[in-house]
Structure 1
C-alpha cells in the first residue's frame, strides 16, 4: 500500500472513519459496510483484512470493558456478555470458521474480491426490501451460524447471518456486547492464521488508520441513540442502495 496516490490514502482514511462509525453506531458492520469501498480503491483484500481485524480486536474489547465498568456500578457481578450462549454458538461455528480461514489464504485476490462483492450485494438487497435475514428453527439457526462462520473466515463479513440468529435468543441489553465478544474470538483466530501464513499485517499503516477508526468510533457512540430513534428502514434502504451500486461496480471491475 506504499505506492498509492495521495487521494487514495485520503479515501482509505475516510472509509476507516466510516468503518468505526458503523461498528459503534450499529453494533456490527464495520467490515461488511466498508470492505467493498476499500476494494474499489485497492483490489487487494489481504491488505485491508489484517487492519480491519486489529480494529475489531481493539474496539470490541474496549467497548466491552467500558460497558462492564459502567454496569459494575449498577449491578455488581453481572456481565454484559452472555458467555453461556456465546460458547454454544462458537461450538457450531468453529469448524466452518477454520475452513473459511483456509480458503481466504489460498484463494486468488480477484476470486475473493468477487465473493465479497456478491455477498455484500445479497445483504444490500435484504436492506433495500426491508427483509433482513431471519431464522425460524434450530435447523435454520445452525445453517445460518455455520454459513456466517465460514463467511467470517473468508472475509470478516458474516455478521448479518450471525445476528439473524443471536438477536432472537439474547436479551437486548446483552446482544451487542455478546456479539463484540464473539467478533473478538473469531478475529483472534484469523489473526493467528495471518501470522502463521506470513501475511503482511500492514503494521506501519495502523499508525494512521487506527486513529481514523477511533474518530468514527466516537462519532458512532454519539449517533447510536439517534439512529435507533430514526426511521431505520429508510436508513437501511439508502445504505442498501449505496452498497448495491458499489458491489455492482466492484463485480464488473473484477470480471
Structure 2
C-alpha cells in the first residue's frame, strides 16, 4: 500500500469501518462486501486479504469472549442456552474441513468465475426467499451437507463461503445464536487460511494494522448496536435483514465478476 493518493487512504479507512460494521452486525459479509471495493481503490488482494483475516480473528474471538463473560455474570436461575450452537459446529466443521484444505492447496482447479457465478446466483435465490418471507427449505436438509462442503472448498480458494453457509446455519438454530456461531466457524476456517499465508511467505501487513484496526473497531462497535436491534425485532425482521445482507453479498460478487 505504498505511494497511494490521500483519497485512496481515506477510502480504505472508510471501507474498513464498513467491514467492521458488517462483520459484527450480521456475523458474515465483512470480507465479501468490502473486498471488491478495496480492490477498486488499490488492486492488491494479497495486501487486503491478510488484513481482513487478522481483523476477523481478533474481533470474533473478542465478541465470543465477551458473550461468554456476560453469560457467566447473569443472575442465578436465568435460563441461557448460550450464544454459540456447538451442535451445529460439530456437524459443520467435519464436513467443511477437508474441502477447505483442498481449496487452500489448490488441488482442484475449477474456473473461478464459473464457481463464483453459480454460488452468487444460488444465494440470490435464498436471499429473495428470506426478503419475501418465503424461506426456502429442503426436505430434511438433504442439501445442507453439500452446501457446507462446497462452502468449505470455496472458503479455501476465496472469501465467499458465507452465502453458502449462512442459510444452513440460520435454519438450524435460534436467531440469537447465528452470529456468534458463525464467528467461531469463521475463526477456525480463517486460521487455516492465515497459516497457509504464513507458509507461503505472504506479508501479513502488521504495519497497516496500526491505523486500520482502529477504523475496524469503530465499525465493530456500530455493528454491535445494529445486531442488538435486529435481535429485539421480530423474527421476520431478522430474516429480512439476513436476506438483504445475503443479496448484497451476491450482487457485489456478480458486479465484481462482470467488471473483471
The equivalent of 1:81 in structure 2 is: 84
* Matching of residue 63 in structure 1 with residue 63 in structure 2: yes
- Structure 2 regions of 5+ residues with no counterpart? none
1:1-255 aligned within 5 A: 1-74=1-74, 79-103=82-106, 119-120=119-120, 123=123, 126-127=126-127, 130=131, 135-227=138-230, 229=233, 233=240, 237=244, 240=247, 244=251, 246-247=252-253, 249-254=255-260
Query: Greater CA deviation, 143-152 or 234-243?
Result: 234-243
TM-score, with length taken from structure 1: 0.82
TM-score, with length taken from structure 2: 0.80
1:9-67 alpha-carbon deviations (Å, 9 max, x no partner): 21111111111101111122111221221222223322211111111101110010101
The Cα RMSD (Å) is 3.3
1:120-140 alpha-carbon deviations (Å, 9 max, x no partner): 566456545737775443430
Between the aligned partners of 1:41 and 1:34, the Cα distance in structure 2 is: 11
Conserved? CA contact 2:99–2:149, under 8 Å: yes
1:177-230 alpha-carbon deviations (Å, 9 max, x no partner): 221111111111111111011112111111111111110000111122334539
Between the aligned partners of 1:239 and 1:147, the Cα distance in structure 2 is: 17
Query: Greater CA deviation, 91-100 or 72-81?
Result: 72-81
**Pair 1:201–1:136, CA change in 2 (3 A):** farther
Between the aligned partners of 1:145 and 1:179, the Cα distance in structure 2 is: 13
> Number of aligned pairs?
249
Conserved? CA contact 1:93–1:149, under 8 Å: yes
- Structure 1 regions of 5+ residues with no counterpart? none
How far is the alpha carbon of 1:101 from its aligned partner?
A: 1.5
**Pair 1:140–1:117, CA change in 2 (3 A):** closer
Query: Greater CA deviation, 60-69 or 119-128?
Result: 119-128
Between the aligned partners of 1:39 and 1:98, the Cα distance in structure 2 is: 25
Query: Greater CA deviation, 95-104 or 32-41?
Result: 95-104
Between the aligned partners of 2:124 and 2:162, the Cα distance in structure 1 is: 13
Greater helix share, structure number: 1
